[in-house]
Chain A
Amino acid sequence: MKAKKLPIGSRYPKVVLLMEREEDTSGAADILAAHIEEYRTIKKNNETIEFLLKTEPSVILFALGNVEKNVEYYKDLVEKHSFKHLHYSVILCNNKESSLAFRSCIKGLFDNYFVFQPLYEKLRLLMIVQNGLTKTQSTSQLKAVNDELFEKINDDLSQLIDEGSRCKQDILYSFTSRREELVQLNQIDSSIISTAQSDLTSTEQIMSTLTEEHITPLLAHLEDDIRAGLDKMLAQLVSKRAEFKADLQTNIAPPEEKGEEEVNAEAMEMKPKGLITHVPSIKKRPLPEDGDELPPISRIEKNTNTNTFDVKDICILIVEDNKLYRDMISEVLTKENYKIEEAEDGLCALQKIKDKKYDLILMDLYMPNLDGLNATKKIRKLSGGQDIPVIALTSNKNKEIVKKWANYGLKGYIIKPSTKNEITDMVKTVLEKSKEEENV
């Protein structure tokens, strides 16, 4: 945001300050006007609601005397006047009412609050407005991408349905044709039978000949037609689904995380190697406003093949600083008859790996002494450490770091806390793949 002279007022401002008394908000209004181009101060009157509905500002700051008045007015605006467009609401209050304003934000009525009487933190006010603008903008972009994508999916599905109908019609036509041929055959049969009777040939022999030479081939032909039609439809559905998945992954790019601590990692120069499979947590929350959910990736298919390894020979190292969660994972995998060892941080894990070979490592990201990402880097440098498969244990917000982590041979990740089946399926799949690669 640049420092600007006070403008006359934008016609369709992106940021609006709603006030009752000008003298209350002059400080805040001056700061906002000086730094935000599309800003306007509005005095509450009979035309205010109409103005807001018309201009649909991205950020609205409420300064209507006290918290109670702000809450009532905003509720009225949203409920009675259907003020539902995407916006970021900020309540301005005096110091005494700050806890009340905080509670109104916690309850989800307003997005943020700011103490403007007395006005100490000018930069923070600008930061709040800037965050609001960024959020509304990124959510609008995401919504636009989603709309476009859903429209495309809708078109694809319609096309599939049309093709399905055509396939069905073709199959029905085949049935009708074959039936007609059978009817014709039956007519021929009757004449053949009567001739055959005069030749003293048994009826049974004739029917048997007819069945073998005509009916059976016709039925086989029909069956082939049906099979071919259905196979074609299935193949198309599968390819459409693959395209859809690819579209979702490229188009729904998650926005940057705010304030997430960067792990102490060096710049990544290596290209990604190896596939990552993902097991999402069973709790599918709705998309939050700042859109920081991982993109929906289909669950891994359950490995129905018999193991190429004996579970009892497998030794898994669980690296997690939270003892409670570590015990839980250990419990889940021990019940599956895996041998389990534990380490409370990356440093501990490294010491264990130097002394013993593990078949799989489950690694947390944020740990004291040595975090998951750096621990994996160091493991890869150890002799024999290059091939140990690693599965990340992480929360939903760490996707950017997990992507970097993938450069070091991450074979999958589990979103905490996950479920027993998802954890065991992931472990089984990664171990299977690892054993297959060893055998190649």
Chain B
Amino acid sequence: MNDNLQILNTKVMFDLIGDDKALIRKFKIEFLQQAKKSIKEISAAYSENAFEQIKKETHFLKTSAKAIGAEVTADYLQQLEDKSLLEDKEQCKQLIILLNHSVKQVYGEIKNES
């Protein structure tokens, strides 16, 4: 993982939305809700060895992660997307754990901002 990636790069949202703090916060919370749902879907797909489904779900969530500046999360999602294509179950498992942890860190950052 690139050490320059941030848990939550606030500049990304600022550059996309502007300085509407309320709106930015709304989108960040939406992302957390979306991420929670997606990680559940990904875990379920993992337990069923449904690698195609893992790939679709990670690709979907990656768009949101990039859009709100959750760079570490986006990076893990990219890696998970790649590993799911290779059907590497062991690595997928590790990446799902890391992904879950990174989303919790994003939550922590958002909570600290309030």
Contacts and interface: CB of A to CB of B under 8 A. Distances in A.
Contacts of A37: none
A417 B16 contact: yes
A89 to B, nearest CB: 16
B15 interface: yes
Contact of B27 (A98, A258, A321, A324): A324
Contacts of A417: 12, 16, 63, 66-67
B1 A107 contact: yes
B63 A322 contact: yes
Interface in B10-52: 12, 15-18, 23, 27, 30-31, 34
A79 to B, nearest CB: 17
B63 A108 contact: no
Contact of A419 (B1, B15, B59, B91): B15
Given A106-B94, A322-B60, A416-B63, 9 more contacts: A106-B1, A260-B85, A324-B27, A368-B56, A416-B67, A417-B16, A419-B15, A420-B16, A423-B16
Nearest to B35: A324
A327 interface: yes
B16 A419 contact: yes
A342 to B, nearest CB: 15
Contacts of B102: none
Interface of A: 98-99, 102, 106-108, 258-261, 282-283, 285, 321-325, 327-328, 331-332, 335, 366, 368, 395, 416-421, 423
Count chain B CB atoms within 10 A of each CB in A261, A324, A416 and give the residue with the most. Answer: A324
Contacts of B17: 328, 331-332, 420
B11 to A, nearest CB: 9
B64 A322 contact: yes
- Main secondary structure, interface of B, reads helix
A174 B18 CA distance: 52
Contacts of B31: 324
A55 B76 CA distance: 35
B91 A102 contact: yes
Interface in B79-101: 82, 85-86, 90-91, 94, 98
9 contacts: A99-B94, A106-B98, A108-B1, A108-B2, A259-B86, A322-B63, A325-B67, A328-B16, A417-B12
A332 B30 CA distance: 17
Contacts of B64: 322, 324-325
Interface residues of B, number: 29
Contacts of A260: 85
Query: 4 closest Cβ contacts across the A-B interface?
Result: A259-B85, A419-B15, A417-B67, A322-B63
A258 B64 CA distance: 23
A328 B55 contact: no
Contacts of B15: 282, 419-421
A106 B34 CA distance: 25
Nearest to A335: B18
B39 to A, nearest CB: 15
Given A417-B16, A420-B18, A366 B59 contact: yes
B85 A328 contact: no
A322 B63 CA distance: 7
Nearest to A321: B60
Contacts of B85: 259-261
Contacts of A102: 90-91, 94
Contacts of A323: 30, 34
A328 B27 contact: yes
Given A98-B90, A419-B16, A324 B30 contact: yes
Contacts of B98: 106
A416 B61 CA distance: 13
A327 B66 contact: no
A107 B75 CA distance: 13
A268 to B, nearest CB: 23
B8 to A, nearest CB: 14
Contacts of B18: 335, 420
